[in-house]
Every structure is written in C-alpha cells, then in structure tokens.
Amino acid sequence: MARGSRVVRVMCMAGQTNRLAFRGAVVTVAGKSRCGLLGREERQPCDGHAHHDPEPDPRGADRHGRMVLSPPMRRETVRDIVLYPLLTVVLGAAANLLPSRHLPWWGHGQLPPTVGTDFQWIDVASAETLRETLPSAVFLDARDPKQFLESHVPGAVPLSYSELNSQLTEALLDRLHRADAVILVGETEEADVEQLLAQELRLRGLAPPHIVQGGFPAWQAAGLAVERGRP
C-alpha cells in the first residue's frame, strides 16, 4: 500500500475481491495505484483483473426493476386469455347435456326463477287452509317417488322435475289450468327443484304456483294430515 493512503477493506467473495473505496483513497492493487470514488464499489477477481460497475442508466430507470416477457411467454399469455373463457363455455354447454344437471335458463333465453313472476311462497298453515277451503286446489309433490309412497299431503299428485315430460299428461295439465290454486311441496327449505318446476308450469300457461316454505318436513312438523301410498 502506498504511503499516505487510507485503509480500505478488501474482501474476497465467490472468487472476487470486493473493495469499497473512499474519496482520495490510493491503494496499490496488482502493482498499480488506483484512486476510488466515494461510495463506489470496485470488483476485481482474485486473479488480478479488475471489473468496474456498469455506468448508471442516463434515463435514471432501474433496469433490474423491469419485467420483460419473452416471445414464448407472450404467446402463452395470449393463449391462456383465449383458451380459458372458451373452455368454460364448452364445459358449461356439455354439462347441460346431462339430463340430471340440465338448467332450463342456459342457452334458452330464460332467467332463473323469481318470486312473483314464476312462483309465490306460502307457509304450511296457509297451504292447509287452501286445501280445506278450495276443493279444486291441487298439491304437487316434487320429492323422490319413494318418499312420496312413504308419506305425503292427502290428495297430492307426484310430479318430478326430471320426469316432467312423462308425468305431466294432458289430463293433469288441464286439471292444473282449472285449479283454484296449485301448491308445490318439496323436500328442502331451499326449494330449488320446486322453483324450476314452477317456472316450467308458468311456461305452460299456469298462474304462478305456490311453494310451501320448509317443504314436506315443515308440513309434518306442524302436525298436519298425511297419507301413505299412491294417490
């Protein structure tokens, strides 16, 4: 080290000598005198060949802070943007080909069933009142056939949404048109199947049917009359 120079920390990492020099510092490296700048780091490998930091970007931009997509990555991104929506449409259409999963509003210009337009809610007490006071009121049981055989509302007619085309005969449809009230009884509180069934009846010209809130379990819990077997 030359006389009058300041002490400079020298470290060797990964086969290189890293030296942080200060303004005015003069050192002798590999037989040559060098003067560093304040805050500037000089690197040189242990074999004696010096490497200097690259000049800063004159535009002041951080070159390492940019994310540049390579052509293959750009092609994959465009492919994903086009492929995933198309795949969603294809799978949705294919799912509706399954009879048990068919959604009537998919691809048919229909909307999901709505209260007031396709059906009306009714509690079990009011439904029982309609049954007692309106002789022509018709109860439709939308549950599984086995459940219907075990127990159902007296005089109810089984009508499954999945078997609608075969069970909704012309005679039954004519009876529903002449009925003072049509009441649907299902299995669950959500009454999803009953709502779809009510919408199908509306499309056949019926007034919005009533759906019993709570379904047949609510009817039983209220202690109302039931019967077994076929109607």
Residue 148 within any structural domain of the chain? yes
Q: How many domains does the chain have?
A: 2
Range of the domain at 22: 1-53
Strands (E) located in 21-154: 26-29, 32-35, 41-45, 51-52, 120-122, 138-141
Q: Does 109 have pLDDT greater than 60?
A: no
How far apart, in whole angstroms, are the C-alpha atoms of residue 173 and residue 170? 5
Task: Give me the CATH number covering residue 148.
Answer: 3.40.250.10
The residue with greater pLDDT, 69 or 71, is 71
43-52, 117-126, 147-156, 179-188: segment of lowest average pLDDT: 43-52
36 and 124 housed in the same domain = no
Residue 114 within any structural domain of the chain? no
Mean pLDDT (the chain, rounded): 76
Helix, strand, coil in percent for the chain, rounding step 5: 35, 20, 45
DSSP-derived secondary structure letter, 143: S
124 and 215 housed in the same domain = yes
48 and 125 housed in the same domain = no
How far apart, in whole angstroms, are the C-alpha atoms of residue 99 and residue 89? 18
Q: What pLDDT is stored for residue 100 in this prediction?
A: 43
Q: What pLDDT is stored for residue 22 in this prediction?
A: 42
Q: What pLDDT is stored for residue 106 in this prediction?
A: 43
Q: Does 77 have pLDDT greater than 50?
A: yes
Average pLDDT over residues 189-198: 92
10-24, 58-72, 190-204: segment of lowest average pLDDT: 10-24
Residue 157 within any structural domain of the chain? yes
The residue with greater pLDDT, 71 or 197, is 197
| Share above pLDDT 90 across residues of the chain, in percent, rounded to a whole number | 47
Q: Find all residues with CB under 8 Å of 218, minimum gap 6, and list them.
A: 124, 189, 212
49 and 124 housed in the same domain = no
Q: Does 24 have pLDDT greater than 70?
A: no
Residue 113 within any structural domain of the chain? no
